[in-house]
Amino acid sequence: MKLDLVESLGSRYDSPQQIARVVTEDWAARNLYCVACPCDFLTRLLANTRAVDLFCPQCKQVFQLKSSRNWNQTKIVDAAYASMISAVRSSNVPNLVVMQYTNFWKVRNALLVSSFFFTETVIEKRKPLSSVAQRAGWVGCNILLKQIPADGKLRLIADGVVTPTHRIRSQFNQIRPLSSLAVGLRGWTLDVLNTIRQIQKTEFALSEVYSFETQLAAAHPGNRNVREKIRQQLQRLRDLGFLQFVSPGRYRASMNADG
């Protein structure tokens, strides 16, 4: 994987946004690979294909690229809120590649967020555009990266250092069991997984997960039996291979997050 972008590709454009789009999409087409299968290249889709930039010709995984000179690991701006929520509910969200490039047109960071880690919890509704805006009333959204478990954020490039392809694919294979969950079940499961990662212990107690009860209740206001739901998700994470039961009320995380 090369880190240099071809700045000259944007020479025919005046808009900085257009220049950045052309240059970064060219880099992605030349350097990105499929994390879900052995295919070492991705195919570009036609310009203006809605929400998707590249796809894998072998396993048909789709990918969207978002690039910027800024690097925000907390949240990133996305498109229309209603469209994103609809895509989440229909399990139609592409894998997302968040890329940062420097003023000297070199890639510094690239993070791949797996498609099945997108839930309604991580989509933040923005305020409608003002009445004087060109698209008055339009409502966009933010993707709350901090709400996504580290397991689902694969660091292709970190501070200019490329992660070996085989390691990224190994990490993806570790989280792949989560893709089998029905869309309606993922939200709770991933939110509980995220709390476990925030505890930052290999072995932890049920009481430590209960300490996130208020936070989980706010994310899922329709559920009044939060503790019961937490225990249910711990059971599910055990069945999927993410946890081991050590003793009553004690658990061991059987997979290290590498995010």
| Digit-coded pLDDT (tens) for 14-25 | 899 999 999 999
Domain 183-253 fold is Arc Repressor Mutant, subunit A (1.10.10)
In angstroms, the CA 65 to CA 180 distance is 24
Burial class (CB in 10 A: 0-12, 13-18, 19+), 91: middle
Mean pLDDT of all residues in 217-242: 94
pLDDT of residue 47: 63
Same fold, 7-178 and 183-253: no
Tracing tokens 């025919």 back to the chain, one arrives at 12
35 confidence band (pLDDT: 50, 70, 90): very high
| Strand pairing report for 43-44 and 54-55 | antiparallel
For the chain, the average pLDDT equals 93
pLDDT of residue 254: 80
Q: Are 61 and 34 in contact (CB under 8 A)?
A: yes
Q: pTM of the prediction? A: 0.90
Q: Give domain limits for the chain.
A: 7-178, 183-253
For residue 259, pLDDT beyond 50: no
Q: Where are the alpha helices (DSSP H) in 136-225?
A: 165-175, 183-199, 206-210, 213-219
| Strand pairing report for 153-158 and 161-162 | antiparallel
Higher pLDDT, 210 or 132: 210
Q: Please provide the distance, in angstroms rounded to a whole number, between the alpha carbons at the two ends of the chain.
A: 20
Q: What is the CATH number of domain 7-178?
A: 3.40.210.30
Q: Are 191 and 218 in contact (CB under 8 A)?
A: no
